[in-house]
Protein backbone atom coordinates (compact mmCIF):
# COMPACT_ATOMS: atom_id res chain seq x y z
CA UNK A 1 0.00 0.00 0.00
CA UNK A 2 1.41 3.39 -0.98
CA UNK A 3 2.37 5.79 1.81
CA UNK A 4 3.11 9.51 1.83
CA UNK A 5 6.83 9.94 2.42
CA UNK A 6 8.73 13.23 2.73
CA UNK A 7 12.43 13.79 2.07
CA UNK A 8 14.25 17.12 2.51
CA UNK A 9 17.58 18.19 1.09
CA UNK A 10 19.50 19.57 -1.88
CA UNK A 11 19.18 18.49 -5.49
CA UNK A 12 22.35 19.14 -7.49
CA UNK A 13 23.60 19.08 -11.05
CA UNK A 14 26.17 16.31 -11.47
CA UNK A 15 28.88 16.88 -14.08
CA UNK A 16 31.11 13.94 -14.90
CA UNK A 17 33.72 13.15 -17.57
CA UNK A 18 32.86 10.24 -19.83
CA UNK A 19 33.75 6.79 -18.51
CA UNK A 20 36.89 6.74 -16.39
CA UNK A 21 38.41 9.92 -17.87
CA UNK A 22 40.15 12.13 -15.31
CA UNK A 23 39.13 15.75 -14.76
CA UNK A 24 42.33 17.02 -16.33
CA UNK A 25 41.73 14.91 -19.46
CA UNK A 26 38.09 15.83 -19.98
CA UNK A 27 36.90 18.12 -22.75
CA UNK A 28 33.21 17.48 -22.04
CA UNK A 29 31.04 16.56 -19.05
CA UNK A 30 27.83 14.56 -18.95
CA UNK A 31 25.01 16.20 -17.00
CA UNK A 32 22.64 14.37 -14.65
CA UNK A 33 20.99 15.29 -11.35
CA UNK A 34 21.11 13.87 -7.86
CA UNK A 35 21.38 14.41 -4.13
CA UNK A 36 21.03 12.22 -1.05
CA UNK A 37 17.39 12.79 -0.16
CA UNK A 38 16.27 13.22 -3.76
CA UNK A 39 17.81 9.83 -4.53
CA UNK A 40 15.79 8.27 -1.70
CA UNK A 41 12.62 9.90 -3.02
CA UNK A 42 13.20 8.40 -6.48
CA UNK A 43 13.61 4.93 -4.96
CA UNK A 44 10.40 5.27 -2.96
CA UNK A 45 8.47 6.57 -5.97
CA UNK A 46 9.69 3.55 -7.96
CA UNK A 47 8.42 1.31 -5.15
CA UNK A 48 4.95 2.81 -5.48
CA UNK A 49 4.83 5.37 -2.67
CA UNK A 50 3.74 9.01 -2.79
CA UNK A 51 7.28 10.33 -2.43
CA UNK A 52 7.60 14.09 -1.99
CA UNK A 53 10.95 15.86 -2.22
CA UNK A 54 11.14 19.16 -0.32
CA UNK A 55 13.79 21.67 -1.33
CA UNK A 56 14.43 24.99 -3.05
CA UNK A 57 15.36 25.29 -6.71
CA UNK A 58 15.91 28.35 -8.91
CA UNK A 59 13.05 29.28 -11.21
CA UNK A 60 15.23 29.37 -14.33
CA UNK A 61 15.59 26.60 -16.90
CA UNK A 62 18.37 24.69 -15.13
CA UNK A 63 16.29 24.57 -11.96
CA UNK A 64 13.35 23.36 -14.04
CA UNK A 65 15.48 20.66 -15.66
CA UNK A 66 16.47 19.42 -12.21
CA UNK A 67 12.86 19.39 -11.08
CA UNK A 68 11.84 17.56 -14.27
CA UNK A 69 14.41 14.84 -13.53
CA UNK A 70 12.44 14.02 -10.37
CA UNK A 71 9.03 14.19 -12.03
CA UNK A 72 10.26 11.81 -14.73
CA UNK A 73 10.48 9.05 -12.13
CA UNK A 74 7.27 9.87 -10.25
CA UNK A 75 8.60 12.04 -7.42
CA UNK A 76 6.06 14.64 -6.29
CA UNK A 77 7.43 18.19 -6.30
CA UNK A 78 4.53 20.19 -4.83
CA UNK A 79 6.62 21.39 -1.87
CA UNK A 80 9.70 22.56 -3.76
CA UNK A 81 10.15 26.30 -3.31
CA UNK A 82 11.30 28.16 -6.46
CA UNK A 83 13.77 30.73 -5.17
CA UNK A 84 17.39 31.76 -5.42
CA UNK A 85 19.62 31.82 -8.49
CA UNK A 86 21.90 28.80 -8.18
CA UNK A 87 21.61 25.07 -8.52
CA UNK A 88 24.42 23.43 -6.60
CA UNK A 89 26.92 21.46 -8.70
CA UNK A 90 29.16 18.53 -7.99
CA UNK A 91 31.84 17.17 -10.27
CA UNK A 92 32.47 13.43 -10.23
CA UNK A 93 35.60 11.65 -11.45
CA UNK A 94 35.04 7.89 -11.43
CA UNK A 95 37.80 5.83 -9.89
CA UNK A 96 39.12 2.58 -11.29
CA UNK A 97 41.20 -0.23 -9.82
CA UNK A 98 43.31 1.30 -7.02
CA UNK A 99 42.52 4.92 -8.03
CA UNK A 100 39.59 6.23 -5.93
CA UNK A 101 36.71 8.31 -7.21
CA UNK A 102 36.80 12.05 -6.53
CA UNK A 103 34.06 14.60 -5.86
CA UNK A 104 34.48 18.37 -6.10
CA UNK A 105 31.62 20.55 -4.81
CA UNK A 106 30.50 23.88 -6.23
CA UNK A 107 27.39 24.48 -4.15
CA UNK A 108 27.95 27.69 -2.17
CA UNK A 109 24.93 30.05 -2.15
CA UNK A 110 22.66 27.50 -3.81
CA UNK A 111 18.90 27.99 -3.59
CA UNK A 112 18.49 25.62 -0.64
CA UNK A 113 21.44 27.17 1.20
CA UNK A 114 19.71 30.57 1.00
CA UNK A 115 16.23 29.27 1.85
CA UNK A 116 14.25 30.73 4.74
CA UNK A 117 12.19 28.98 7.43
CA UNK A 118 9.01 30.62 6.16
CA UNK A 119 9.53 28.99 2.75
CA UNK A 120 8.25 25.67 4.09
CA UNK A 121 4.80 25.04 5.58
CA UNK A 122 5.68 21.88 7.50
CA UNK A 123 2.15 21.45 8.86
CA UNK A 124 0.84 21.13 5.31
CA UNK A 125 3.83 19.06 4.20
CA UNK A 126 3.44 16.48 6.97
CA UNK A 127 -0.35 16.19 6.74
CA UNK A 128 -1.12 12.46 6.33
CA UNK A 129 2.61 11.65 5.97
CA UNK A 130 3.99 8.41 7.40
CA UNK A 131 7.74 8.95 7.09
CA UNK A 132 10.34 11.74 6.95
CA UNK A 133 13.92 11.23 5.78
CA UNK A 134 16.95 13.50 5.71
CA UNK A 135 20.71 13.05 5.76
CA UNK A 136 23.59 14.66 7.59
CA UNK A 137 24.51 16.43 4.35
CA UNK A 138 21.57 18.83 4.61
CA UNK A 139 22.26 20.43 8.02
CA UNK A 140 25.95 20.53 7.02
CA UNK A 141 25.20 23.16 4.36
CA UNK A 142 25.04 26.01 6.91
CA UNK A 143 23.48 26.99 10.24
CA UNK A 144 20.36 28.30 8.53
CA UNK A 145 19.60 24.99 6.80
CA UNK A 146 20.40 23.16 10.04
CA UNK A 147 17.69 25.23 11.78
CA UNK A 148 15.20 24.45 9.01
CA UNK A 149 16.02 20.75 9.36
CA UNK A 150 15.49 20.92 13.12
CA UNK A 151 12.11 22.62 12.65
CA UNK A 152 11.15 19.94 10.14
CA UNK A 153 12.00 17.21 12.65
CA UNK A 154 10.01 18.93 15.38
CA UNK A 155 6.97 19.30 13.12
CA UNK A 156 7.27 15.71 11.92
CA UNK A 157 7.10 14.54 15.54
CA UNK A 158 4.05 16.72 16.18
CA UNK A 159 2.34 14.93 13.29
CA UNK A 160 3.36 11.45 14.49
CA UNK A 161 5.68 10.87 11.53
CA UNK A 162 8.54 8.38 11.76
CA UNK A 163 11.95 9.93 11.09
CA UNK A 164 15.04 8.34 9.56
CA UNK A 165 18.44 9.90 9.05
CA UNK A 166 21.53 8.75 7.19
CA UNK A 167 24.44 10.32 9.07
CA UNK A 168 26.39 10.77 5.79
CA UNK A 169 29.35 12.73 7.17
CA UNK A 170 31.08 14.89 4.54
CA UNK A 171 34.38 16.41 5.64
CA UNK A 172 34.30 18.88 2.74
CA UNK A 173 31.16 20.44 4.23
CA UNK A 174 31.86 20.67 7.96
CA UNK A 175 34.19 19.63 10.77
CA UNK A 176 33.69 16.60 12.98
CA UNK A 177 33.17 18.88 15.98
CA UNK A 178 30.46 20.87 14.20
CA UNK A 179 28.82 17.68 12.95
CA UNK A 180 28.68 16.27 16.48
CA UNK A 181 27.21 19.52 17.86
CA UNK A 182 24.43 19.77 15.27
CA UNK A 183 23.62 16.09 14.85
CA UNK A 184 23.46 15.51 18.61
CA UNK A 185 20.48 17.89 18.72
CA UNK A 186 18.79 16.31 15.69
CA UNK A 187 19.18 12.77 17.06
CA UNK A 188 16.55 13.57 19.69
CA UNK A 189 13.93 13.21 16.96
CA UNK A 190 15.34 10.32 14.91
CA UNK A 191 13.71 6.88 15.08
CA UNK A 192 15.88 5.01 12.54
CA UNK A 193 19.59 5.80 12.27
CA UNK A 194 21.46 4.78 9.12
CA UNK A 195 25.26 4.86 9.23
CA UNK A 196 28.21 3.36 7.42
CA UNK A 197 31.49 2.02 8.73
CA UNK A 198 32.93 5.54 9.13
CA UNK A 199 30.00 7.83 10.03
CA UNK A 200 29.53 6.76 13.64
CA UNK A 201 33.22 7.36 14.31
CA UNK A 202 33.44 10.66 12.40
CA UNK A 203 30.31 12.21 13.91
CA UNK A 204 30.10 10.70 17.39
CA UNK A 205 33.53 9.14 17.99
CA UNK A 206 32.05 5.63 18.20
CA UNK A 207 34.53 3.24 16.59
CA UNK A 208 34.25 -0.41 15.60
CA UNK A 209 37.09 -2.45 17.09
CA UNK A 210 39.51 -4.31 14.81
CA UNK A 211 38.18 -2.64 11.67
CA UNK A 212 40.12 -0.67 9.06
CA UNK A 213 37.98 0.49 6.14
CA UNK A 214 41.07 1.31 4.07
CA UNK A 215 42.09 -2.35 4.22
CA UNK A 216 38.63 -3.73 3.50
CA UNK A 217 38.31 -5.38 6.89
CA UNK A 218 34.98 -5.64 8.69
CA UNK A 219 34.52 -7.05 12.19
CA UNK A 220 30.88 -7.97 12.84
CA UNK A 221 31.28 -8.02 16.61
CA UNK A 222 32.74 -4.51 16.55
CA UNK A 223 29.76 -3.17 14.64
CA UNK A 224 27.37 -4.80 17.07
CA UNK A 225 28.98 -2.68 19.78
CA UNK A 226 28.74 0.45 17.61
CA UNK A 227 25.02 -0.12 16.98
CA UNK A 228 24.34 -0.82 20.64
CA UNK A 229 26.22 2.29 21.76
CA UNK A 230 24.36 4.45 19.23
CA UNK A 231 21.02 3.13 20.45
CA UNK A 232 21.91 3.37 24.13
CA UNK A 233 23.20 6.93 23.71
CA UNK A 234 20.46 8.40 21.55
CA UNK A 235 17.44 6.15 22.06
CA UNK A 236 16.91 5.17 18.42
CA UNK A 237 14.31 2.52 17.65
CA UNK A 238 16.55 0.91 15.03
CA UNK A 239 20.15 1.28 13.91
CA UNK A 240 21.42 0.05 10.57
CA UNK A 241 25.05 0.00 9.47
CA UNK A 242 26.13 -0.62 5.91
CA UNK A 243 29.33 -2.66 5.65
CA UNK A 244 31.46 -1.92 2.61
CA UNK A 245 34.65 -3.92 2.11
CA UNK A 246 36.63 -2.12 -0.58
CA UNK A 247 38.83 -4.43 -2.58
CA UNK A 248 39.28 -1.74 -5.24
CA UNK A 249 37.35 1.19 -6.70
CA UNK A 250 35.56 -1.25 -9.01
CA UNK A 251 35.04 -4.18 -6.68
CA UNK A 252 33.43 -4.07 -3.24
CA UNK A 253 31.88 -6.60 -0.90
CA UNK A 254 28.56 -5.17 0.31
CA UNK A 255 26.35 -6.12 3.25
CA UNK A 256 24.59 -4.50 6.20
CA UNK A 257 23.38 -5.01 9.74
CA UNK A 258 20.15 -4.03 11.49
CA UNK A 259 19.81 -3.76 15.28
CA UNK A 260 16.34 -3.37 16.81
CA UNK A 261 17.34 -3.28 20.46
CA UNK A 262 16.82 -7.02 20.90
CA UNK A 263 18.70 -8.78 18.12
CA UNK A 264 21.27 -8.16 15.38
CA UNK A 265 20.39 -9.07 11.81
CA UNK A 266 23.09 -9.39 9.13
CA UNK A 267 22.28 -9.51 5.43
CA UNK A 268 23.88 -11.77 2.88
CA UNK A 269 27.04 -10.35 1.28
CA UNK A 270 27.21 -9.25 -2.36
CA UNK A 271 30.37 -9.21 -4.47
CA UNK A 272 29.90 -6.04 -6.56
CA UNK A 273 31.50 -5.10 -9.86
CA UNK A 274 30.71 -1.40 -9.69
CA UNK A 275 29.32 0.65 -12.55
CA UNK A 276 28.49 3.72 -10.42
CA UNK A 277 28.90 3.87 -6.67
CA UNK A 278 27.37 7.32 -6.03
CA UNK A 279 23.90 6.95 -4.53
CA UNK A 280 24.62 3.48 -3.18
CA UNK A 281 23.93 4.48 0.41
CA UNK A 282 20.81 6.40 -0.58
CA UNK A 283 19.44 3.35 -2.39
CA UNK A 284 19.98 1.37 0.80
CA UNK A 285 18.01 4.01 2.72
CA UNK A 286 15.18 3.97 0.19
CA UNK A 287 15.00 0.18 0.33
CA UNK A 288 15.02 0.17 4.11
CA UNK A 289 12.27 2.78 4.41
CA UNK A 290 10.08 0.86 1.96
CA UNK A 291 10.63 -2.40 3.82
CA UNK A 292 9.77 -0.83 7.18
CA UNK A 293 6.69 0.90 5.77
CA UNK A 294 5.59 -2.49 4.46
CA UNK A 295 6.18 -3.91 7.96
CA UNK A 296 8.64 -6.55 6.80
CA UNK A 297 10.35 -8.51 9.57
CA UNK A 298 13.87 -7.28 10.45
CA UNK A 299 15.74 -9.94 8.45
CA UNK A 300 13.59 -9.38 5.37
CA UNK A 301 13.94 -5.61 5.75
CA UNK A 302 17.73 -5.64 5.81
CA UNK A 303 17.87 -8.12 2.93
CA UNK A 304 15.60 -5.90 0.81
CA UNK A 305 17.63 -2.77 1.57
CA UNK A 306 20.97 -4.38 0.74
CA UNK A 307 19.65 -6.01 -2.44
CA UNK A 308 18.25 -2.65 -3.59
CA UNK A 309 21.62 -1.03 -3.02
CA UNK A 310 23.51 -3.85 -4.72
CA UNK A 311 21.42 -3.23 -7.83
CA UNK A 312 22.06 0.53 -7.69
CA UNK A 313 25.81 -0.08 -8.04
CA UNK A 314 25.05 -1.38 -11.55
CA UNK A 315 23.19 1.78 -12.67
CA UNK A 316 24.68 5.00 -14.05
CA UNK A 317 23.67 8.21 -12.27
CA UNK A 318 22.52 8.96 -8.73
CA UNK A 319 19.03 7.48 -9.01
CA UNK A 320 18.23 3.82 -8.31
CA UNK A 321 15.90 2.85 -11.15
CA UNK A 322 14.69 -0.56 -10.02
CA UNK A 323 11.32 -2.07 -9.13
CA UNK A 324 10.17 -3.92 -6.02
CA UNK A 325 10.03 -7.12 -8.06
CA UNK A 326 13.64 -6.77 -9.21
CA UNK A 327 14.84 -6.16 -5.66
CA UNK A 328 12.86 -9.05 -4.22
CA UNK A 329 14.22 -11.42 -6.85
CA UNK A 330 17.80 -10.54 -5.93
CA UNK A 331 17.06 -10.64 -2.19
CA UNK A 332 15.54 -14.07 -2.76
CA UNK A 333 18.75 -15.38 -4.28
CA UNK A 334 18.51 -14.73 -8.03
CA UNK A 335 21.75 -12.83 -8.59
CA UNK A 336 22.99 -14.62 -11.70
CA UNK A 337 22.50 -11.67 -14.02
CA UNK A 338 21.13 -13.98 -16.72
CA UNK A 339 19.11 -12.43 -19.52
CA UNK A 340 15.40 -12.23 -18.73
CA UNK A 341 13.34 -13.17 -21.83
pLDDT digits (tens, 9 = 90+) for 223-272: 899 999 999 999 999 999 999 988 999 999 999 999 999 999 999 999 99
pTM: 0.94
What is the reported pLDDT for 336? 66
Give the separation between CA 334 and CA 328, rounded to whole angstroms.
Answer: 9
Give the separation between CA 52 and CA 74, rounded to whole angstroms.
Answer: 9
What is the reported pLDDT for 222? 83
Q: Is the pLDDT of residue 186 over 90?
A: yes
Q: Is the pLDDT of residue 308 over 90?
A: yes
Give the separation between CA 238 and CA 259, rounded to whole angstroms.
Answer: 6
**Count of residues making up the chain:** 341
Mean per-residue pLDDT over the chain, rounded: 93
Question: First and final CA of the chain: distance in angstroms?
Answer: 29
CB of 105 within 8 A of CB of 90?
yes
The residues pairing with 239 across neighbouring beta strands, listed in sequence order, are 193, 259
Closest CA to 324 of 289, 282, 287: 287
Amino acid sequence: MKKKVITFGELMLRLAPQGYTRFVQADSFGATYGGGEANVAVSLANYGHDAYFVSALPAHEIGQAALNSLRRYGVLTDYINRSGNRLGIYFLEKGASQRPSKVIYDRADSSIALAKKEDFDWDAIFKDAKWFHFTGITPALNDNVAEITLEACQKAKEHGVKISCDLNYRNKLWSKAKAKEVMSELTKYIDVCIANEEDANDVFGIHAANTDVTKGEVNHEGYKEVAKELMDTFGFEKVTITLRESISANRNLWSAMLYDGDDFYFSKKYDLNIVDRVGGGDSFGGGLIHALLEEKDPQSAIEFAVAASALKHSIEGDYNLVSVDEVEKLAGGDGSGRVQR
